[in-house]
Amino acid sequence: MEHIKKVAIIIPTFNRKAYLKKLLLQLAGQNNLLNIDLIPVIVLDGSTDGTSIMLEREFKEVVVLKGPGNWWWTKSVNEGIRYALHAFNPDALLLLNDDSQIGPEYTDSLVNALQLAGDRSIIGSLSITERVPHRVSFSGIKSINWYLLKKEIYHPGFEFLYKIPDKGLIPTYALNGRGTFLRTSLFKDLGYLNERVFPQYGSDDDLALRAWKKGYRVMISYSCKVIDRTEETSKGSALRGDNTSVFIKSFFSRHSVNYIPKQLSFFYFHGIKLLLPYYFAKFILGTSFAYFFKYKKLRHEL
């Protein structure tokens, strides 16, 4: 197995100056016992909150790319990767969100997990909420039944962190863009994220399933933890608890997690095409149930 010496860390950002600063300080404070060259590549897509000035004054060593303001998450990631491949030729790529928070052992844990899983693997991170006691917002998908459109998850949604193992490396059929780590050679084989069909949400899960179909393994490491702000995700998501009007409009907003064409495209690419009408109905009913009932109490706890 070839040693990883250089990692490009791709971080898209938009108007989250304080969160981004915290993350960059955490990256600078990594234990880095493996002596890896960590190269943050910040993709600044239209921010107006002074992020650019903050980066110029406080993080001169960080690479900054500037977009026109309409790249959104997936194209920002692609542009960051494209630049990193040309400028640095990294051995591996790490995707993080601008509001991610990580511990000092995080990057070492990722590299160790990849070495354990093998080079033909993608490593995902355990995603946990910011508020203490921490809850787990993403613990991996054990299996997907496309006939019933049912995902089997390893642990109940938003289970308390102390109730699940603090170590482990297990297969997952979905990825969370917060903390995806893979060899550059594997990425080159899979190709870039699908920015046309999944401009903001879904490209990470699409990548995971494309990887499985090509014979790669997608794993999640419980030793690699990323604190996220799931409750502040896409407007109209069931977890945010926006008003009903915003929730309904989210089904027709191209950059919403609930965007109907995005969901149908995902089902078309990876599911059973004849079942698209069933997928559509179950998606609408399931998302509505989550908004009006399932997450009603949880929204206040988070």
If the chain, 302 residues long, is cut into consecutive pieces of 10 residues, what is the mean pLDDT of each piece?
90 95 97 96 93 95 93 96 97 96 97 95 95 93 96 93 94 94 97 96 96 97 92 73 90 93 97 97 94 78 67
- Residue 302: the pLDDT is 65
- pTM value? 0.95
CATH class belonging to 6-231 = alpha beta
- Residue 189: the pLDDT is 97
CA distance 217 to 187: 13
Task: Give 11's strand partners.
Answer: 42
Structure tokens of 196? Answer: 């046309």
CA distance 233 to 164: 24
CA distance 238 to 250: 10
- Residue 55: the pLDDT is 96
List where CATH 3.90.550.10 sits in the chain.
Answer: 6-231
- Residue 1: the pLDDT is 58
Closest alpha carbon to 51 in 13, 79, 9: 13
CA distance 291 to 82: 38
- Residue 83: the pLDDT is 97
CA distance 163 to 156: 10
